[in-house]
């Protein structure tokens, strides 16, 4: 028996190990025991997933998946259940990664959980059929850069995306240009806006930027992701599209090591 399984040899031992690995953000069910039954968002992310699970291909046989900000691996595990051949989960938090490895081991799911920040994903040197980028954007000081990096280095086809949103849910048509002397569009509710959080939001100092809906959709488009489904308020399924490289240089300002200097 492998050491991780030893730690779950009885229900009591498993419950104890779950407690030692906590606190958990994902309420997983490991051999019937819930990891975060008192979650402030309810049975999370199961309740969230229920709103968009049908938008993701049900059969991922032979496909590869990268789960950025995987936490305890809820989405990685779900994609493995759909037959994904290769699943890689990355997160910056070693405690969450320990939880993910434990849950995957007990589920007999072969998933690579790596400690890695989204800023370093070029180092993976691999593109994935499905990139999951759920609940991370607003935790980043440089959100658009993250989308650029995903587009440039790891996405091949689909991206499942979620961000917290605040402000207006209206969407105004985007004009190709705005004259500096005409009435400014910026105060119209449907104009894309990001709200900057200097200190904390929801008692969390890792919340930096909260976009409104128009801003989420504009950022996805601007980074080369075509929105193909919007199954749940905050969740989008996108498809990678080529983007024109502007004449003044690559779209992404953070080129991989070894790329030619201009
Ligand atoms: C709100 S949780 C979302 C977890 C999961 N993706 C979900 O939707 O349930 C944000 C996760 O992103 C991770 N994270 C934060 N900054 C990150 C970064 N720069 N690179 C990778 N992961 C990051 C956190 O450790 C945390 O696990």
Measuring from atom 11 of ligand 1, which residue has the nearest CA?
69
Question: pLDDT digits over 182-191, tens only?
Answer: 777 898 999 9
pTM of the model: 0.94
Q: Is the CB of 143 under 6 A from ligand 1?
A: no
169 belongs to a structural domain: yes
Contact 5, 106 (CB under 8 A): yes
Residue 5: what pLDDT?
77
| Contacts of residue 22, Cβ cutoff 8 Å, sequence gap at least 6 | 35, 36, 99
Ranges of the chain with pLDDT below 50: 1, 262
165 belongs to a structural domain: yes
Residue with token string 């910056």: 92
120 belongs to a structural domain: yes
Domain at 62, CATH number: 3.40.50.150
144 belongs to a structural domain: yes
Q: Which residues pair with 160 in a beta bridge?
A: 132, 237
Measuring from atom 1 of ligand 1, which residue has the nearest CA?
135
Query: Ligand 1 centroid vs 229 CA: distance in angstroms?
Result: 22
- What span, in angstroms and rounded, lies between the C-alpha atoms of 221 and 161? 12
Q: Is the CB of 117 under 6 A from ligand 1?
A: yes
Q: Is the CB of 136 under 6 A from ligand 1?
A: yes
- What span, in angstroms and rounded, lies between the C-alpha atoms of 253 and 140? 16
Q: Is the CB of 118 under 6 A from ligand 1?
A: yes
Query: Ligand 1 centroid vs 9 CA: distance in angstroms?
Result: 30
140 belongs to a structural domain: yes
Residue with token string 């801003």: 215
Backbone φ and ψ for 68, nearest 5 degrees, come out as: -90, 125
Query: Ligand 1 centroid vs 185 CA: distance in angstroms?
Result: 33
109 belongs to a structural domain: yes
Residue with token string 């009591």: 12
Query: Ligand 1 centroid vs 54 CA: distance in angstroms?
Result: 23
- What span, in angstroms and rounded, lies between the C-alpha atoms of 44 and 219? 26
103 belongs to a structural domain: yes
Q: Find, among 166, 158, 147, the residue nearest to 233 by Cα.
A: 166
Write the DSSP string, the chain: --HHHHTTSSHHHHHHHHHHH---SS--EETTEES-TT-TTSSTTHHHHHTTGGGS-S--BT-EEEEET-TT-HHHHHHHHTTBSEEEEEES-HHHHHHHHHHHHHTT---EEEE--GGGGGGG---EEEEEEES-GGG-SSHHHHHHHIIIIIEEEEEEEE----S----PPPPS---TTSPPSTTSTTS--EEE-SS-BTTBTT--EEE-HHHHHHHHHHTTEEEEEEEETTEEEEEE---PPPTTS-SSSSPPTTPPP-
Cα dihedral value 45, 70, 74, 26, nearest 10: -50
Question: pLDDT digits over 135-191, tens only?
Answer: 999 999 999 999 999 999 999 999 999 999 999 999 999 998 898 887 778 989 999
Measuring from atom 23 of ligand 1, which residue has the nearest CA?
69
Q: Is the CB of 71 under 6 A from ligand 1?
A: yes
60 belongs to a structural domain: yes
Q: Which domain holds residue 102?
A: 43-240
How many domains does the chain divide into? 1
| Contacts of residue 141, Cβ cutoff 8 Å, sequence gap at least 6 | 208, 209
Backbone φ and ψ for 9, nearest 5 degrees, come out as: -65, -30
């Amino acid at each position: 028996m492998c050491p991780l399984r030893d730690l779950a040899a009885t229900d009591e031992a498993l419950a104890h190990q779950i407690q030692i690995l906590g606190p958990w953000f994902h309420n997983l069910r490991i051999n019937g025991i819930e990891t975060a039954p008192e979650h402030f968002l309810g049975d999370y992310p199961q309740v969230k997933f229920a709103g968009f699970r049908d938008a993701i291909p049900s059969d991922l046989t032979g496909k590869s998946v990268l789960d950025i900000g995987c936490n305890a691996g809820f989405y990685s595990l779900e994609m493995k259940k759909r037959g994904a051949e290769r699943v890689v989960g990355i997160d910056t938090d070693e405690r969450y990664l320990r939880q993910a490895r434990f849950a995957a081991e007990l589920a007999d799911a072969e998933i690579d959980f790596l400690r890695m920040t989204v800023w370093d994903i070029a180092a993976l040197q691999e593109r994935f059929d499905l990139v999951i980028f759920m609940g991370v954007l607003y935790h980043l000081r440089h959100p658009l850069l993250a989308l650029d990096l995903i587009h440039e280095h790891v996405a091949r086809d689909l991206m499942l995306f979620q961000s917290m949103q605040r402000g207006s849910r209206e969407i105004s048509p985007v004009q190709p240009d705005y004259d500096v002397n005409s009435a400014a569009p910026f105060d119209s509710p449907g104009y894309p806006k990001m709200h900057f959080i200097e200190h904390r939001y929801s008692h969390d100092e890792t919340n930096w930027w909260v976009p409104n809906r128009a801003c989420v959709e504009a950022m996805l488009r601007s980074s080369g992701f075509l929105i193909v489904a919007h199954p749940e308020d905050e969740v989008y399924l996108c498809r990678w599209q080529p983007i024109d490289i502007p004449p003044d240089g690559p779209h992404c300002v953070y080129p991989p090591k070894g790329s030619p200097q201009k």
